[in-house]
Structure 1
Amino acid sequence: MPAEAASALFQVVAQRYLETSIVITTNRSISEWGEVLGDTTVAAAMLDRLLHRSVVLKLDGDSYRLRDHHARSENHRTAAGTIRRPLQ
């Protein structure tokens, strides 16, 4: 993430901290935020505010999108692999 974007996100979190609710969804673990934001100091400060008095819901499981994609791909392969014989 560009430094300007990370800084802007931090400013939003800092301004809303203790004032109102914040909901964030991500597919990255908390331990990866320093790498994602490109600055471990900003990530630590942001996470400090976000995790204070927070509820973290971690969902594990198969992706519905990937499951549906695999099902469509399998159907496509089956249809593409069908041999049609000419009518006599």
Structure 2
Amino acid sequence: MAKGDGQYPRLLASLAKVDVLILDDWGLMKLSAENRRDLLEVLEDRHGRRSTLATSQLPIEEWHGVIGDATLADAILDRLVHNAYKINLRGESMRKRQAQLTNTLASE
């Protein structure tokens, strides 16, 4: 939408200035060619300057396939993962645990 009305350069500039950009539920769908180019541009503007946090249910090893184009995937992952702190969580989903707790309390 921002590209159509001329707001795209301003949107990119504002995303570059955000202290922490959160990519939540990263990798739920494969990226289109346009998505890949846009993401690379955003990450390039932020690289080494601001923090970017990505949450995903996919292991990092599968991100390359979600991005698609091998060359752009390498560039995107280099900027996103290269100096990243990686935290791999294990166990049941907190939503599942909360639902079980709610059901237990409701039956009492």
Q: Residue 50 of structure 1 corresponds to which residue in structure 2?
A: 80
Which of these residues, 52, 57, 66, is aligned with residue 22 of structure 1? 52
TM-score (normalizing by structure 1)? 0.67
Matches within 5 A, 1:1-88: 1-68=31-98, 71=100
Structure 1 residue ranges (4+ consecutive) displaced by more than 3 angstroms after TM superposition:
66-69
The two structures, once aligned, show a CA RMSD in angstroms of 2.2
Identity %: 36
Higher strand share: 2
Would you say the 8 A contact 2:64–2:77 is kept in 1?
no
1:17 CA displacement: 0.3
Higher helix share: 1
1:9 CA displacement: 1.0
Q: Give deviations 1:27-78, integer Å, cap 9, x for gaps.
A: 1111111211122221211111222322111111111223455x4xx99xxx
Q: What stretches of structure 2 of length at least 5 have no aligned partner? A: 1-30
